[in-house]
Structure 1
């Protein structure tokens, strides 16, 4: 459940970072789409301009041929001379619109005869009236027809600038393929500029007549009809990478950058929110820590002051009472000293200033000494306190004082959080290349969701009986740090309402190592007493 401060932080981050990022992303996506369309339009216009140039050049060449023919109408010899240098030009014809007479000059088209030419001209003659109308309007128009489609010839007809316009139509036949290869190819090469591929296609035979680069496979992006060469198209494609691929690559790059930007922003927001949340939790835990420590310090100080004043005022009338009050003062002083030492040790470890004094120790002896020290205190508080030691544990390299401090913290927690069943067991053992100390109680236990957090500094369970028991939130964090300083670890096994088991593992660097099986040996028991 998100608390109110975190809700405010979430809303603030959304409006300050995420909302502008979303608006910017939408804007950029729209811009990318518009740029894509604009880029495509620019490229398309560029390609169409190149194709238009080819068509315009074709028309200019054929128009010039028609003018040369028009200027050579004096004799057949002049006509032949005018077209002799153009190997793609074959027969020249004169056709009378009124009489239908046809005169063929220089009949040289392979695979054809005059009868075929006459039949073809008669078939297209109805369209000559339109040429005449254009001429009367002052416009010289060329009309192209495909002659015998399989032959590859094209017939070009026009009305000459003669004294008797409207009576005669002139035409000439060209070999379309030869014309493309001989006349158009230099222009195509010039326009391509080693950047474009410009293939000319025969749409009837579905084949490429000419291509400025025969080493590349061509998939044209735009095709246009050659105006004066019916049945032929000229296409264009970008050399190497197609225009669509260029546009797609540009769009994909822009989208990828936008996506990466959003991922970075979202990750940053999550990171900031997580750290703010952790900081807020830490502030709260520190505040709780100060409150709890103040309470823990106040209680023994109040008891010490009360019993000290009682003794000072002479109200303890018997020696038994005096010894009892002095014992309470001594116990509370020790308790106060433990709290202060715990805080100081934690502070030193946090600052990295605590020094551990490692030396070979017998773990059983260390725990046995601690057991004897605490046995009387726990028995007086109604606890059954037992100890079990694994036999033949070899010495390990450890700081005896730090290990003792860690176990005392576990015992203090076992005492604090025991409810009706007051039973504590301490045990030593071996597992793989570790020796361990185990403290088990039959207290209130720890919920599963809290077990991963209890070793964090200042952390205290926020609900149940654990929350109601005062503490600093440093004990288990200190135990965890001490275990890690010994190249070990700490584990907890707990069932809520049934008790907890804490096990400190210490690395065993010397002596014989056993694996897997955990062993227990002799057992010491502190007799349970009621108080």
Structure 2
């Protein structure tokens, strides 16, 4: 690709990125008022969410208490009038410090009540509680009928009544409990006396603080009263609250909320300042990003060039064995070779080129699977000696044909290790193939397999052109080839060593290289024993 098209492409990228960012910057200044309204809307929704969460939390707690009361009520009631529920009922006030009393109402005159000892000095008398409850039920028959419908639908909606006297500030919760075997219409009523201050302190404030991390203040106010019933700050709050909603559980109580130590106007001003700073930062990031994009585009074009060379090199590597296989096969088919020795030589050449071709295709297929993350490995206990000998036997004719002498140093009594035999075979072939490609006059390769401590090490040493130390890490990158004229004269895909590195990573091992220009190269595959095999 020439410089002119590259420059044109870079200009297009700049325009494609700069115009939108400039438009966005202008838009932000023009839309400042709308942003303020958006902030207000988001802020309101946040406050509503906090209040809803507090109410839902309180409701869930009461629902749990309802379940406990229901469990008590469902106790064997064949001899209902003889049962004594009060010890069981009293457990709930004893466990929950906010509950002053709990009761079950089977009829206007038959109650089972459990009073909390904590509220002994302030609690209403038994008869007073019964009369109050009967009065509330009589006056709210329609609401309780709806509550019964809700219970049938699986939803608890207690009737909440304020009960205030000189001794206490309570909320009376009444809820129906249904069972076809209950006397009358199959419904009784359960009830709880909730201490308002204790409930707010124990549940409302704690959950509120957990939600807001001190960023908001709240107060509770009775409807129709100017003074606050309860507030979260040390001093009485000053200024209007920004959101107010009824507390679901506590009768006639409203939960008010505002931001702590600031106002919405201040937030908007700070937001505007932050927006300006953000726009500046965005433009800075844009410039940095543009440089990054241009750099990566350049790299991608270089990669495209490398891939193009890869196709050319692979095509050349495939063409050579295919041509030989075809030529030798046609010669044999025509019957022109009579000598059996020469026939065997042709057959061996065809087999060797087939092995070479298969190796090249496997490299390409495995690379494709690795790139798409679909490559699977089949690990099992294997003998590395057997794998290496199989590779050397398979490549014997290739070595012989190209005039290579192979020195084998294979240790005895090596432990079996947990590997994928096909992957190890492929990695070994790649190393041997490289050793043959980049050897020059001295065609001698040493293959060593030995145990070193808790590792099995397979090494391939050649006496070829060698690799500069600055290239040692780079050669394991895909498509990378050493910048040497001798290397570029040798056709290759640039995938072999990257596949070797990937295979060793999968095996929790590593591949190492010792090499200097003109002194050959030694590649070593290091497989751990204990980690993989459990030895």
Give the greater-gyration-radius structure (CA).
1
Q: Which bin holds the TM-score, normalised by the shorter protein?
A: 0.3 to 0.5
Q: Which has the higher contact order (CA 8 A, sep 6+)?
A: 1
Q: Structure 2 length as normaliser, TM-score?
A: 0.48
